[in-house]
Amino acid sequence: MKEASYYTRENGKVRCFLCPHNCLIAVDKRGICRVRKNVGGKLIAETWEQVCSLHFDPIEKKPLYHFYPGQTIFSVGSVGCNLHCKFCQNCEISQVGVDEYPFLHTISTEEIVNKAVSIKENIGIAYTYNEPTVWFEFMAEIAKQAKSQNLKNVMVTNGFINPEPLEDSLEFMDAYSVDLKAFDENFYKKITSSWLQPVLETLKTIKKSGKHFEITNLVITNTNDDPDEFKEMIDWIAEELGKDTVLHISRYHPTYKMSEPSTPETTLNLFFELASKKLDYVYLGNLHSLQGQNTYCPNCKTEVIKRTGYLTEVTGLDKVGNCESCQYKIIKYRI
């Protein structure tokens, strides 16, 4: 356990400023994320050095398709989340606190970095599985040490974070995989217990910083699958973040508190077509499909990266990530 950052004291309570919930927490109580607790007037980050999973994963699993394609990344997760998505695929770790999950184990920041450097093919560390915003202090300490070892840092996030910690994270993060769950405040409120605007601000801040980022949109049957709303979201992405923004359209399957049927392939294919009219790099995830897997040069249409499941083959890029056929810049980060 460690004293948290980003809080103030208010008459014996503490106010956490890590995410837009800005929870006011009484003594012996926790915030909405269940992992930040007022202990005797101090805000404690209970997830400090507490992990639920450590795995070497393909970077494509985060998903990041334009950041060191085909490479491995050491992935670390803990417990808790500041959102309560009814479709959460990781609810067993995201909707619990440290004393509600029996498989947590203690590991120091140094040990995590040592594991990450133990495999020479590994490019860095991803903070993922549950929402890393809620274990910000632990993530920041690992990331700073990882950076000093020339490892890359990747944050897989819902984007519901306050501007100050987000700005601080830009100092040590190299890339972000951000969920944009819908383009509708009602959806965010009813289905995730949060709101949309801070997520849009997060995306704009990351874009402005020049750091790499990719967006994932999970399309849920009868919930956020209105084509007009989707088109509005795509227009916003193209205008505010640029047509070169990488978008992963992901298939939903019933889980946790959502029982709507799996997203029909026809919907995903339609959304793929709609997004591809405005954005250069659109992919389909959670789906066996020939469409939306490979990367094609937006300029000359040559296939430059071929993907089969998590098997990634760079087929048409030169050493600096340009299209071999027409020299168009496609990937800024590759080995």
Residues near ligand SF4, by CB under 6 A: 16, 18-19, 21-23, 31-33, 36, 81-85, 88, 90, 94, 130-131, 134, 158, 192
3 three-class SS: strand
Contacts (Cβ under 8 Å, ≥6 apart) of 48: 1, 2, 135, 137, 138
Instruction: For ligand SF4, give the closer residue by CB, 77 or 124.
Output: 77
Instruction: For ligand SF4, give the closer residue by CB, 190 or 329.
Output: 190
Instruction: For ligand SF4, give the closer residue by CB, 147 or 181.
Output: 181
Contacts (Cβ under 8 Å, ≥6 apart) of 35: 45, 46, 47, 78, 79, 80, 97, 98, 134, 135
Concatenated DSSP letters for 18-57?
Answer: SSTT--EE-TT-B-TTSSEEEETTEEEETTTTEESEEEEE
> Minimum distance from CB of 305 to ligand SF4 (Å)?
27
> Minimum distance from CB of 158 to ligand SF4 (Å)?
4
Q: How far apart are CA 101 and CA 80, in angstroms?
A: 10
> Minimum distance from CB of 80 to ligand SF4 (Å)?
8
> Minimum distance from CB of 105 to ligand SF4 (Å)?
20
Instruction: For ligand SF4, give the closer residue by CB, 18 or 330.
Output: 18
Cite the DSSP H helix spans in 118-176: 136-148, 163-169
> Minimum distance from CB of 15 to ligand SF4 (Å)?
8
Nearest position to ligand SF4, beta carbon: 31
Instruction: For ligand SF4, give the closer residue by CB, 135 or 272.
Output: 135
> Minimum distance from CB of 191 to ligand SF4 (Å)?
9
Closest CA to 236 of 203, 281, 269, 283: 203
Instruction: For ligand SF4, give the closer residue by CB, 36 or 62.
Output: 36
Instruction: For ligand SF4, give the closer residue by CB, 68 or 188.
Output: 188
Q: How many residues appear in the chain?
A: 335
Which residue type occupies 98? V
Closest CA to 7 of 124, 116, 164: 164
> Minimum distance from CB of 194 to ligand SF4 (Å)?
8
Closest CA to 104 of 145, 154, 48, 58: 48
Given a contact cutoff of 8 angstroms between Cβ atoms, the answer to whether 12 and 168 are in contact is no
Closest CA to 47 of 109, 137, 179: 137
